Every structure is written in structure tokens, then in C-alpha cells.
């Protein structure tokens, strides 16, 4: 039974959060700069004080109990609050002067990251940025579990307890094999996709879902190519080889289409596209700083691509 008067220590909460993130005691201990025995003792003391088992241990697996899953967000909230307290006491309340783990989805990262890194280095020289590229669902899991601080992804994410900051809108462009009959078209109706072998990314990529949504909105059942790609770069190579056509975001045009000599076609207004934004935990207390981060990202992306800032 939980003792209502028990006050968890930060050491115990840090041990709990680290094991929950790593699912491995030795890796969690290394991440905190502790010995494994010290970490285990801190976690055991936390569980004993709470009267609740947070982590289930076996010889082969380490995972959260149902109670651990329920209490983990509260542990993150306490640790976030403690970090903000320490930063304020040191006169450095701005997280953009410290380490930020920034996630980006794979259909954004390769095309905007060079400019974003340069822009952030200039605007925020004290920022220690750590980049994590992954699919949307895994980034959202990382955000929920505290392994990611903020993530650049397609909106809306529509996840409880998360705040979304729109950054920019961009159009989708149809990438075609060189010499294709539709090459250079500028007012292509989305319904034209019904007659084209459409290459899709593997499941888990939001661009796949967005492409299928465009087809549904156009009232067409697109002819899907049998080839599927794990990355946008692979999809473009398949288009170049005549295996089909694919949609690419405007920010990817210079890298994927122009350097590969692909033909392009643009859709008639209102052009299908996507909204990219920054997502972070509402409990982090960092909205003002992350809005500044989003503005910088938007400015540097807009400087090199045809996007609409929000």
C-alpha cells in the first residue's frame, strides 16, 4: 500500500525514467553516469516507498508494469520541473541554451536539416542540438516517454498532452520519369492519379497516408504500383527507372528530382500538400522557447524552398 506521506527523491525518479527509456539497467545507469547497483538501489527505494512495482524485471526483459506506464508521465513532469528550477536558479531558464533532442521525420530531415543546422548554429550558438530521425509514431512515443524533447513532423498529430506549433505549408509535386507525357504540366487535376502507377512508401511513413488521402479526396482509386519503397530517395530512383510515379514534397524537389533529372508536374489549385510543425509535450513548460525554435526553423527553410510560412 502506498504511503501518502512518502516523498520520492529525484534520484529515484531519474532512475525510473532512465530504465523506462532504455529498457535496460546497464544502459540506463551509463546514461546517468551511475553504477548499475546505485541505479538499482534508487529504483528499488522508489518502488518500496510508493508500494508499487514500476519495472518488471526478468533475465531477458525489462519493461514497465501497468502502474509504471501510468506514473511515468508524472515522473517526467517532476523531472522537467526540477530541471527548470535548477536552470532558473543558475540564471539560465532558456532550454535553447542547453541540450535539445529534436526529432524529424524522414521526409523532412534530409531536405531541410543542412539549412536548419546552419541557421540554428548562427541564431542559437549555445544550443546543443541532438538530432533524431524517425517515423512519426516512434517520434511521438519518444516524446511521450521523454526520449525526445520536440519533433518536426506533419500536422495535425492530434495527440493528447502535446502542443503543436505550425511552421510552414508546402505543396506536393508529382515526380515522373524523364520524357513522361505529363512532364511540365502546371494545373494537373488530382483525379489524373487514377491513370498512373503510383509508388508508395512503406507503412509507417506519413507521406504514404497523405498520398492515399489525396486520392480519396479526389474520388479516385489510384493504380498502385507493386513496388514499395522504404525511403523517398528509393521511391525517386524507382521513378527514374520507369517503375511508376510518386508524390514528393516541395522541399525535396531540389535534392530528389532535380539532381536525378526527373520530370515534374504540379497540381491545379488548391494544390494538395502538407503542413509541417513542431510538436512537444504540453507539460514541458517550454512553449515560449519552442515557438522561437519553430520561427527560426521556418525562416531558414523558407529561405531555400518554396513554402508558405505560418
With respect to residue 116, please indicate whether it lies within any of the assigned structural domains. Answer: yes
pLDDT mean over 121-129: 92
With respect to residue 171, please indicate whether it lies within any of the assigned structural domains. Answer: yes
pLDDT mean over 132-148: 93
With respect to residue 35, please indicate whether it lies within any of the assigned structural domains. Answer: yes
With respect to residue 2, please indicate whether it lies within any of the assigned structural domains. Answer: no
**Domain match, 80 and 102 both:** no
From residue 97, alpha-carbon distances to 123, 124, 281 in Å are 11, 7, 19
How confident is the model over 246-262, as pLDDT tens digits?
999 999 998 888 777 88
- Whose grid coordinates read 506506464? 69
Closest CA to 40 of 50, 51, 55, 52: 55
**Domain match, 46 and 102 both:** no
**Domain match, 144 and 20 both:** no
pLDDT mean over 52-57: 90
With respect to residue 5, please indicate whether it lies within any of the assigned structural domains. Answer: no
**Domain match, 45 and 109 both:** no
How many other C-beta atoms can be found within 10 angstroms of the C-beta atom of residue 251? 23
Of 70, 90, 110, the position where a domain reaches its end is: 90
How confident is the model over 9-32, as pLDDT tens digits?
999 999 999 999 888 899 999 989
pLDDT mean over 67-83: 91
CATH at residue 49:
1.10.10.10
**Domain match, 136 and 267 both:** yes
**Domain match, 101 and 191 both:** yes
pLDDT of residue 252: 93
CATH at residue 182:
3.40.190.290
Taking the CA atoms of 228, 233, 239 and 240 in sequence, report the sign of the dihedral they define.
Answer: negative
pLDDT of residue 221: 78
pLDDT mean over 45-61: 88
The C-alpha cell that represents 231 in the structure block: 525511403
pLDDT of residue 301: 96
pLDDT mean over 157-176: 94
CA atoms within 13 A on the CB side of 102: 24
pLDDT at 303 over 60: yes
Mean pLDDT computed over every residue of the chain: 89
DSSP the chain: ---TT----HHHHHHHHHHHHHS-HHHHHHHHT--HHHHHHHHHHHHHHHT---EEE-SS-EEE-HHHHHHHHHHHHHHHHHHHHHHHHTT---GGGSEEEEEE-TTTHHHHHHHHHHHHHHH-TT-EEEEEE--HHHHHHHHHHTS-SEEEEEE----TTEEEEEEEEEEEEEEE-TT-TTTT-SSB-GGGGGGSEEEEEPTT-HHHHHHHHHHHHTT---EEEEEEESSHHHHHHHHHTTS-BEEEEGGGIIIIIITTT-EEEEBPSSPPEEEEEEEEEGGGS-HHHHHHHHHHHHHHHHHHS--EE-
With respect to residue 1, please indicate whether it lies within any of the assigned structural domains. Answer: no
**Domain match, 19 and 122 both:** no
**Domain match, 246 and 285 both:** yes
Of 90, 105, 135, the position where a domain reaches its end is: 90
Of 90, 105, 136, the position where a domain reaches its end is: 90
With respect to residue 3, please indicate whether it lies within any of the assigned structural domains. Answer: no
**Domain match, 214 and 289 both:** yes
pLDDT band at 309 (very low <50, low <70, confident <90, very high): very high
User: What's the structural domain count of the chain?
Assistant: 2
pLDDT at 81 over 80: yes
pLDDT of residue 47: 92
- Cut 0.75: pTM above it: no
Residue 191 domain boundaries? 94-309
- Position with higher pLDDT, 141 vs 5: 141
pLDDT of residue 4: 67
With respect to residue 24, please indicate whether it lies within any of the assigned structural domains. Answer: yes
**Domain match, 153 and 230 both:** yes
pLDDT band at 5 (very low <50, low <70, confident <90, very high): confident
d(Cα 201, Cα 188) in Å, to the nearest integer? 22
Q: Report whether 207 contacts 230 (CB < 8 A).
A: no
Taking the CA atoms of 8, 14, 15 and 18 in sequence, report the sign of the dihedral they define.
Answer: positive
Query: 130: burial class by Cβ within 10 Å (0-12, 13-18, 19+)?
Result: exposed
- Position with higher pLDDT, 61 vs 34: 34
d(Cα 243, Cα 250) in Å, to the nearest integer? 21
**Domain match, 81 and 189 both:** no
- Position with higher pLDDT, 92 vs 149: 149
Query: What percent of the chain has a predicted confidence (pLDDT) above 90?
Result: 58
**Domain match, 169 and 157 both:** yes
pLDDT at 129 over 60: yes
Q: Report whether 142 contacts 148 (CB < 8 A).
A: yes
Amino acid at each position: 500500500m502506498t504511503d501518502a506521506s512518502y516523498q520520492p527523491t529525484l534520484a529515484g525518479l531519474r532512475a525510473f525514467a532512465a530504465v523506462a527509456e532504455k529498457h535496460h539497467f546497464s544502459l540506463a545507469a551509463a546514461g546517468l553516469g551511475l553504477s548499475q547497483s546505485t541505479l538499482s538501489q534508487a529504483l528499488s527505494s522508489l518502488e518500496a516507498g510508493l508500494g508499487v512495482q514500476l519495472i518488471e524485471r526478468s533475465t531477458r526483459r525489462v519493461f514497465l508494469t501497468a502502474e509504471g506506464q501510468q506514473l511515468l508521465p508524472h515522473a517526467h513532469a517532476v523531472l522537467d520541473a526540477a530541471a527548470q528550477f535548477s536552470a532558473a536558479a543558475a540564471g539560465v531558464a532558456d532550454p535553447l541554451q542547453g541540450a535539445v533532442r529534436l526529432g524529424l521525420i524522414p521526409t523532412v530531415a534530409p531536405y531541410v536539416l543542412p539549412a536548419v543546422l546552419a541557421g540554428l548554429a548562427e541564431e542559437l550558438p549555445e544550443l546543443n542540438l541532438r538530432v533524431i530521425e524517425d517515423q512519426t509514431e516512434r517520434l511521438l512515443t519518444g516524446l511521450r516517454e521523454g526520449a525526445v524533447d520536440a519533433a518536426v513532423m506533419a500536422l495535425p498529430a492530434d495527440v493528447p498532452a502535446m502542443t503543436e506549433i505550425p511552421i510552414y505549408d508546402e505543396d506536393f509535386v508529382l515526380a515522373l520519369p524523364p520524357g513522361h507525357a505529363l512532364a511540365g504540366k502546371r494545373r494537373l487535376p488530382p483525379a489524373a492519379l487514377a491513370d498512373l502507377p503510383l509508388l508508395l512508401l512503406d507503412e509507417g511513413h506519413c507521406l504514404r497516408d497523405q498520398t492515399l488521402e489525396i486520392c480519396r479526396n479526389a474520388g479516385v482509386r489510384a493504380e498502385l504500383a507493386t513496388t514499395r519503397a522504404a525511403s523517398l530517395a528509393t521511391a525517386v530512383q524507382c521513378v527514374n527507372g520507369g517503375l511508376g510515379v510518386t508524390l514528393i514534397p516541395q522541399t525535396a524537389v531540389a535534392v530528389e528530382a532535380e539532381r536525378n533529372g526527373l520530370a515534374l508536374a504540379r497540381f491545379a489549385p488548391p494544390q494538395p500538400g502538407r503542413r509541417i510543425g513542431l510538436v512537444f509535450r504540453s507539460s514541458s513548460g517550454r512553449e515560449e522557447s519552442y515557438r522561437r525554435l519553430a520561427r527560426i526553423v521556418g525562416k531558414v527553410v523558407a529561405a531555400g524552398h518554396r513554402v508558405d510560412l505560418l
